[in-house]
């Protein structure tokens, strides 16, 4: 099955040297909200935490701590980890689905031309509009140098063809 058109693997296929491995950490704010953060390495997490750049998405608290990931901990045979409440998991899944649908409906997918379109909008060569797409690290560096703000987020996983 072919990747959907917005999937990054279809862009910049000539060179895949711009791929960076990321580490996902389970995090918790001072108010007890748990969430996931993606970092290049432990040093990047520590640096961002020290600068107060990591904030809870629920309450914006910046007193963040790493918490053990349940999928990494090997437990004794008698231990059963507390499962997330089914209704809570469904709520999070619904929220994620709603966010994805909002972005898909309200942002033009410019694919691999994200940086080019953002520059056109910034300099008035194209009508201002919400856009989404993919870019290389070099393109992102150029956008930052030009004073163009953008938000990076992980692309949702492509639909499972088996389901």
Helices (H), the chain: 42-50, 86-106, 114-122, 137-145
Domain check: are 88 and 133 in the same one? Answer: yes
pTM of the model: 0.45
Separation of alpha carbons 132 and 7, rounded Å: 12
Domain check: are 93 and 143 in the same one? Answer: yes
Nearest CA among 66, 72, 71 for reference residue 35: 66
- Predicted confidence at residue 153, as pLDDT, reads 77
Domain range enclosing 33? 22-78
The answer as to whether 133 is a domain residue is: yes
Domain check: are 42 and 59 in the same one? Answer: yes
Higher pLDDT, 76 or 148: 148
Higher pLDDT, 53 or 22: 53
**pLDDT averaged over the chain?**
79
Q: Quick check: 136 pLDDT over 70?
A: yes
- Measured torsion, CA atoms of residues 95, 100, 102, 108, in degrees rounded to the nearest 10: 170
The answer as to whether 35 is a domain residue is: yes
Residue 50 region, left (φ>0) first, then alpha (ψ -120 to 50), else beta? alpha
Where among 38, 61, 78 does a domain terminate? 78
Where among 34, 62, 78 does a domain terminate? 78
Beta strand spans in the chain (E): 23-29, 34-39, 64-67, 108-111, 131-133
The answer as to whether 2 is a domain residue is: no
Domain count of the fold of the chain: 2
- Per the listing, tokens 């690290």 go with 137
The answer as to whether 43 is a domain residue is: yes
């Amino acid at each position: 099955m072919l990747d959907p058109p917005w999937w990054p693997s279809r862009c910049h296929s000539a060179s895949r040297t711009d791929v960076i491995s990321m580490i996902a950490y389970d995090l918790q704010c001072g108010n007890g909200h748990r969430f996931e953060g993606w970092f290049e390495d432990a040093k990047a997490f520590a640096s961002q935490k020290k600068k107060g750049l990591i904030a809870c998405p629920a309450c914006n608290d910046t007193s963040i701590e790493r918490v053990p990931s349940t999928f990494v901990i090997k437990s004794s045979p008698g231990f059963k980890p507390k499962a997330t409440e089914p209704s809570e998991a469904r709520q999070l899944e619904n929220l994620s689905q709603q966010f994805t649908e909002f972005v898909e409906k309200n942002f033009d997918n410019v694919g691999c031309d994200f940086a080019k379109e953002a520059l056109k909008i910034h300099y008035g060569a194209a009508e201002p509009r919400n856009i989404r797409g993919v870019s290389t690290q070099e393109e992102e560096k150029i956008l930052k140098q030009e004073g163009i703000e953008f938000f990076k987020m992980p692309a949702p996983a492509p639909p499972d063809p088996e389901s």
